[in-house]
Amino acid sequence: MTIGEMSDAALTVVRTHHAWAGPICFGLAFLESLAFVSLLVPSAILLIAIGGLVPLSSISFTEIWIGAAVGAALGDWLSYWLGHRFGHRISTLWPFTRYPEMLPRTHRFFERWGALGVFLGRFLGPLRATVPLVAGMGAMPFWPFQIANMTSALLWSAGLMVPGAFGVAWMRQVFG
């Protein structure tokens, strides 16, 4: 099954089974935020599309927003834990062996910005899944990491889904 087929299948399930919208958004955001996996799954695009289904259905915006935020926060937490647990041995794994500049570049970003870098990294595609990994490798204290992680997850997930969920209706009101 190709990525496009999986994307179509996920959107079809959400369209026809609204109860699965929150768990699917959780899974997509988790995969988007998880080190290594985020490079393979186009989750952000699917989250935008699911947000666009809200005005066309009875899907609860709050449910998909919270599902995505919790999934994103857990994905980053797991990446942080992996970095903390395995340290620099991670640099011997794919994709870091293929792109050896990725970890040093992320490390410089993290060193410069610290906890704010964890927050900002969520909004920068290439850094999204590597900043938490480097934060764990650098033994960033748990609670500053989690505060940056959770607040950025809430804003990031809303930023992806609000335009589709509310923008279309707003444009119809403004432009008739």
Q: Domains in the chain: how many in total?
A: 1
What's the burial of 15, exposed, middle or buried (CB within 10 Å: 0-12/13-18/19+)? Answer: middle
Give the CA radius of gyration of the chain.
17
Residue pair 38/125 in contact (Cβ under 8 Å)? The answer is no
Structural domain for 149, as ranges: 3-175
Structure confidence at residue 3 (pLDDT): 66
Residues 78-114 have pLDDT tens digits of 999 999 999 999 999 888 899 889 899 999 999 999 9
pLDDT < 70 regions, the chain: 1, 3, 168-169, 176
What's the pTM? 0.89
Contact 143, 32 (CB under 8 A): no
